[in-house]
Amino acid sequence: MSGKNQPHNVNACPFYFPLENGRYEVKPGLYKFPHDFGQGMADRQVFQFDHTFAQYRAEKLAARAERLGKYYCRQGCAQEVESLISRFIIQRLVEDQPAKFQLEKAAKERILHCLPSQDVLSFDSEYRLMGTQTENGGSAEYVDSFDALACQIQEDLAVVQLQNDGVDRVTALHLCLPNHWSAEEKIGRSFRDVHQPVPGMTRMNLTAEQLMQAVIHKGPFVRFAWGIATDARLNHHPQPPSGIDAKDWQGRAFDPAQAQLYLRVERQTIHGFPAQGCALFTIRTYLYDIDTDNFAAEHRDRIASAIESMTEDSARYKGLEEDRGAILQWLIR
């Protein structure tokens, strides 16, 4: 991904296009954070906000209402780490988005006013959640500080911790907007195990421990991942909610007669905390409608080239096995 994309309109979502070489590649792709991708202030923010916040929050709340344990999992996440991560998130929100988040500090209490959601969150001095309410006097039900803060942002969150044996484990996942993977399946697993199903990961998995040491001790970093979707739903959990057809839910059925095609880009930031041997991963999903003015002919050509360059295993993993030919024909029309 080069250092510049198309100029950023401050009234629009940032536009990230990690396919500029026109090849499908599986690699770390780490850039030091912050990195200038031509998106102005957004490139320097951990947590990005735009006019789509209401959609992201609505999908997060709907996922939690379906079954919280399906989307939010913890296993062995120490209270010290939760407090550290919560404090970091609050500090970045207040620093990066001062018009949206204000923090009041007292001797034994921290009160965070969250203007986008209208929530007011109260924490103790260790940033453990004490209570929640809305600006209109109602209450919001969150189970802990990590859950409450994840519902104030457009990103999903993951915490990875190094264990005594040196192996990393995913100890917390707030994953309400997943791209065909499950928090319940990945919690407690190592980087190597989490990525084992991904075709082309063999070389990276051989150095998984070194990679995790690097992201914890040498960051922060930012990276991107991408895929193709045939609807604009953010939540593509592998298991649909009760009563919803699995094929309709997956967003991987392309109909050339009524074509909808989206480039789904994940902007991931990684912030390490060496003293505690852990890292926070943020995952912000962007859905770009390919049939719009944002996508010049060269963008469509590079998407097509990247899809063509996929192995059969990679195309199957990305959900393109059945429709790859039809999608390529539509892209190059």
Q: Any alpha helices (H) in the chain, and if so which ranges?
A: 53-71, 79-96, 145-150, 183-186, 191-194, 202-206, 208-217, 246-250, 297-308, 312-317, 324-331
CA distances from 266 to 18, 64, 289 (A): 10, 21, 15
Instruction: Report pLDDT for 206.
Output: 65
Instruction: Report pLDDT for 173.
Output: 97
Instruction: Report pLDDT for 237.
Output: 96
Q: What is the pTM of this model?
A: 0.92
Instruction: Report pLDDT for 5.
Output: 47
Residue stretches of the chain with pLDDT short of 70: 1-11, 135-139, 200-206, 293-294
Instruction: Report pLDDT for 14.
Output: 94
Tell me the per-residue pLDDT of 28-62, one tens digit each, with 9 for 90 and over: 889 999 999 999 999 999 999 999 999 999 999 99
Torsion angles phi and psi, residue 163, rounded to 5: -90, 175
Tell me the per-residue pLDDT of 113-169, one tens digit each, with 9 for 90 and over: 999 999 999 999 999 999 998 766 556 789 999 999 999 999 999 999 988 777 889
- From the CA atom positions of the chain, what is the Rg in Å? 20
Instruction: Report pLDDT for 161.
Output: 93
Instruction: Report pLDDT for 7.
Output: 38
